[in-house]
Amino acid sequence: MQVCPAVKTEGSSPPHCSQIFPRVFDSYHLLIVPRLSDTSRRRFRTSPAVEQVVSAPFVMRVGHSVQEECKTDLRRRLRQARKSLSLPQRQEKSRRIIDRCRRLPFFAGATIVCSFIGRGDEVDTSILLRQLLREGRRVAVPSQRTGTGGQVFSELFRWQDLTPNSLGILEPHRDALRLVSTASIPLFFIPGVGFDEGGGRIGQGRGYYDQALSESSPRALRVGLSFEIQIVDHVPVADHDLPMDIIITENRVIEISSRPTLTKEVC
C-alpha cells in the first residue's frame, strides 16, 4: 500500500523528498510507513547521495506538510473503502461489533459509558446507546464546544434529546446539555477513519478527540470501533495523537494495552 508520494516501486527512478517538498524537507516529524512484503519492497532515496532499499516496517522522518499530505491520502482511500460497504453489510457488521463490546468484562463494570454517535457509513452505535438507555445505564456522548470549537462530553438521558450540530452530528440540544467531567469517564468508544494494530488512529483531521481525551483519567480505556476494512498496517502518527487501548472490529478484538485480562470475553 503506497501512502507517501515519495515512495516509489523498485526499479523506477524515485524523486527525492527534497525535490517534491523543498520548503518542508528540513522540518522533521515521525511518519510510519506501511508494512511492505519482501516481494513488494520499495526504494526510497533519503538524500541526493544516499539511496536505501527499505524492508518495512520502518520509520522515516519527513516534513510536517508531507505527513499531512500522507494523512489526507490515507483518509480519502479509507473513506472510499468504508463507503463500499452496503447498508445491510454495515448494519450486520455494526451489530457484531456492539455484541463484542458488550461481552468484554470492563463494559459491565463501567460507571458511565461514553460513545460517539455513528453517522453515515460509520459504525452504527445507536444500537448500543439505545440498549444502555433502556437498561438505565449512565451514558455520555460528545458535544461540540460552543464558540471555541473542540469537544466536551454530556450525559444523555433520552434519545429524543439529540439534535444535529453544525457538522451534522447528533448531540444533546442546549436545554438537555449536562456536561460530564472527562476525567470521571472510565470508558470511551471512539470513532476513526482508520486504525492500525499498534493502536494508531487517524480521525477526521480536526483533532477534537485527541484534545478532549488528553483530559481523561490515565486509567480510562480508549476503545476504537472500526470495520475490519478500516484496519491498515500503519497510520501516520504525531506526538499529540493518542493511541487506543483496544480496537474492536466485526471479526476480532485487538488488544494494545498491557493491562491484564482486559479483553477476556464473558460468555
Length of the chain counted residue by residue: 267
Residue 72's pLDDT is what? 83
User: pLDDT tens digit string along 126-167?
Assistant: 999 999 999 999 999 999 876 666 789 999 999 999 999 888
- As a whole number of angstroms, the distance between CA 228 and CA 100 comes to 13
Torsion sign, CA atoms 54, 12, 26, 24: negative
- 131: CB partners within 8 A, 6+ apart: 98, 102
Judge contact between 223 and 245, C-beta under 8 A.
Answer: yes
Q: What is the pLDDT of residue 30?
A: 35
Mean pLDDT over residues 213-225, rounded?
Answer: 92
* Residue 213 pLDDT level (bands cut at 50, 70, 90): confident
Residue predicted with more confidence, 251 or 205: 251
Give the bridge partners for 188, in sequence order.
114, 222
Higher pLDDT, residue 88 or 23: 88
Put simply, whether the predicted model's pTM sits higher than 0.75 gets the answer no
H/E stretch holding 33 reads: strand 29-33
Rounded-to-integer distance, Cα 233 and Cα 53, Å: 19
What tens digit of pLDDT does each residue of 188-206 get?
Answer: 999 999 999 999 999 887 7
Instruction: Assess whether pLDDT exceeds 90 at residue 99.
Output: yes
| Residue 97 burial (10 A CB sphere; 0-12, 13-18, 19+) | buried
pLDDT over threshold 90, residue 217: yes
DSSP, res 10: T
What's the mean pLDDT in 64-80?
74
Q: What mean pLDDT do residues 77-91 have? A: 94
Q: Is the pLDDT of residue 1 over 60?
A: no
Report whether pLDDT(64) > 60: no
The pLDDT, as a whole number, for residue 151 is: 87
Spatial neighbors of 174 by CB under 8 A, at least 6 apart, are none
CA atoms of 110 and 119, how far apart (whole Å): 24
Give the pLDDT confidence of 101-110 residue by residue, as tens digits. 999 888 999 9
**Domains of the chain, each with CATH number or no CATH:** 8-83 (no CATH), 87-255 (3.40.50.10420)
Phi/psi at 27 (nearest 5 deg)?
-105, 110
Q: Which residues contact 88 (CB under 8 A, 6 or more apart)?
A: none
Mean pLDDT of the chain: 75
* pLDDT greater at residue 180 or residue 47: 180
pLDDT at 83 over 70: yes
